[in-house]
Amino acid sequence: MTVEQVRIAFQQRVPMRDGVTLSADIYFPASTMGEQRWPVILTRTPYVKADGRLVEIGRFYAGHGYVFVAMDVRGRGDSEGKFVPYFNEGRDGYDAIEWCAAQPWSSGAVGTIGGSYGGRIQWLAALLAPPHLRAMVARVAPSDPFVETPTGLPSPMHLCWLHLVNGRVNQVMGAINWAEVYEHLPLLTMDEKAGIASAPWRSDIAHSQLDEYWEPLCYQKNFNRVNVPVLHISGWYDDEQIGTPLNFAGMVERGATPEARAGQRLLMGPWGHNVNATSKLGEVDFGDSALIDLKAEELTWFNRWLKGQQRDLSADARAPVRIFVMGANTWRNEQEWPLARTRWTHYYLHSGGRANSRFGDGWLSTEAPKGSEPGDVYSYDPGRPVPFITEPTSSQIGGPDDYAAIERRDDVLVYVSEPLSEDMEVTGPIKVELYASSSAVDTDFMAMLIDVWPNGFRQRLCDGMVRARFRDGMERPESIEPGQVYRYQIDCWNTSQVFKAGHRIGLQITSSAFPKFDRNLNTGEALGQTSEFVSAEQRIYHDGQYASVLLLPVIP
């Protein structure tokens, strides 16, 4: 079908249950295709549907026998109503899906597709079980509140995104000096510092723990209410990556029906938040095979679930899990996540009491510490936080960056293994169990997994953090006793990396990763509301009683 044969109906009004109408552009297959009723693919976006990329996608799907509906979410673009991020999207998504199914040009089978915001809102709609929703393609979907930022507060960089979607059209993120804005305290008035007014920013900070305010946005505990096959897509360097493997595994285990549990597929590439856009991130080139025909993958998925075309699926398309193994730079099919053949391997932290910086004496070993091995001490000053290497806007937060310069600081503890005698693959979730004390009543601990190259390049793989007051969950904040030893569990998300022979496994421990996470001011006061801070003396333990450990999923 030629581009000219695709017919587009612009700015069609779609009624919601409360009388608000949303605006949609609808792409129809040519009438010469014979069929007058087609399956529908719906995308709902806060980034305005008048976008050249959506036009291209709409023409693509219409050219393959689908009606493609591109819709502005409530309060954005040409849609009526007020935009409040996420809070209306479950109901509006349900109504939009059922409207698509009821149209005279629809076969009644509806699929949804979208990334980031457009990924998460598919889940919020799916929780309500729209009868005609048949399949989803969820790219880089954000998680439940505080899964990505377990701090009780939005990341400072979230304000940049709120600026982008402030009003009905997209704002220019680069118009503001974000590096300067992120330094502002208290966090609550950072929007004023940026020269914008953001009601969502203020509301989110006012609810600095998991409570009833956040309940409408929680989907990951409710997979038992979702009866939809889902193609889950993300990249190892997606700054919202944690949600995608969680969602796949959660649906496989707890989806509403056996058919839903069997109808899940995970696709993970060597990509950032903008998936499948480049084979090179920062200084690391993942090779020619890093980019795939993602449109074809997604079309195959919809053909399977909206048209029933399953007979000719390739082995790759049938695989429940398809991952790109970095370092080896190859794609591989798997049957589950995490991989069943994983050897969970403990790498214990050790030192002579001076693991400060990469010039210190910290090391990793599979041998557990014995006796009274000395711990490591550093001072965390919120006025001089450890930088997290990133672009200033929220378009992509972090990548395979070189942390060699960061690890010159004494407030960064560094533990490294001996050089590996042979290649070692690490694929799966990365966890750190840390025993630590602080002079403060609340503070943070960060962990980062590093591939230490023989040439000195220290490649970030993945990282995570814990806020001390939330050590037992985001619903139950509780101060710590200064000087008391606590066990902290840090989720460092996921990776798939072959550590090549001669490389070393590295672990970085510190108390800030700014501006990815807000600075803990160490005072125990109300989060985001104050400007006063104190320095904290942090002590990390690794002895016979308190064996701090990095848990790696090693693949034989």
CA 311 – CA 31 distance, rounded (Å): 27
Measure Cα distances from 503 to 177, 373, 455, 498, 499 in Å: 38, 26, 9, 10, 6
Burial (Cβ within 10 Å: 0-12, 13-18, ≥19) of residue 101: buried
Tally the C-alpha atoms within 13 A of residue 20's C-alpha that lie toward its C-beta: 19
Q: b/e map of 35-45 (b: 16 or more CB within 10 Å)?
A: eeebbbbbbbb
Q: Which residues, at least 6 apart from 56, have a Cβ–Cβ distance to it below 8 Å?
A: none
E strands, 410-531, in order = 413-416, 424-438, 444-452, 458-467, 486-499, 504-510
Say which of 116, 208, 394, 438 is annotated catalytic. 116
Helix or strand holding residue 317 (H, E): helix 315-318
Q: Report DSSP state, residue 501.
A: T
DSSP string for residues in 76-142: STT--S---TTTTHHHHHHHHHHHHHHSTTEEEEEEEEEETHHHHHHHHHHTT--TTEEEEEEES--
Match 């209410």 to its residue by tokens: 225
Contact assessment for residue 42 and residue 49, using Cβ atoms and an 8 Å cutoff? no
Tell me the pairing of strands 458-467 and 444-452. antiparallel
Q: Which residues, at least 6 apart from 301, have a Cβ–Cβ distance to it below 8 Å?
A: 135, 137, 231, 265
- Bridge partners (DSSP) of residue 517 are none
Choose among 334, 328, 441, 436: nearest CA to 377: 436
CA 423 – CA 505 distance, rounded (Å): 11
Contact assessment for residue 488 and residue 433, using Cβ atoms and an 8 Å cutoff? yes
CA 447 – CA 403 distance, rounded (Å): 13
Say which of 238, 376, 401, 411 is annotated catalytic. 238
- Bridge partners (DSSP) of residue 424 are 499
Q: At what angle do helices 117-126 and 89-102 cross, to 10 degrees?
A: 80
Helix or strand holding residue 191 (H, E): helix 190-194
Match 């938040």 to its residue by tokens: 273
- Give catalytic status of residue 273 as yes or no: yes
- What tokens were used for 48? 């305005």
Contact assessment for residue 446 and residue 464, using Cβ atoms and an 8 Å cutoff? yes
Match 């998300």 to its residue by tokens: 493
Say which of 64, 132, 163, 273 is annotated catalytic. 273
Active-site residue numbers? Answer: 116, 238, 273
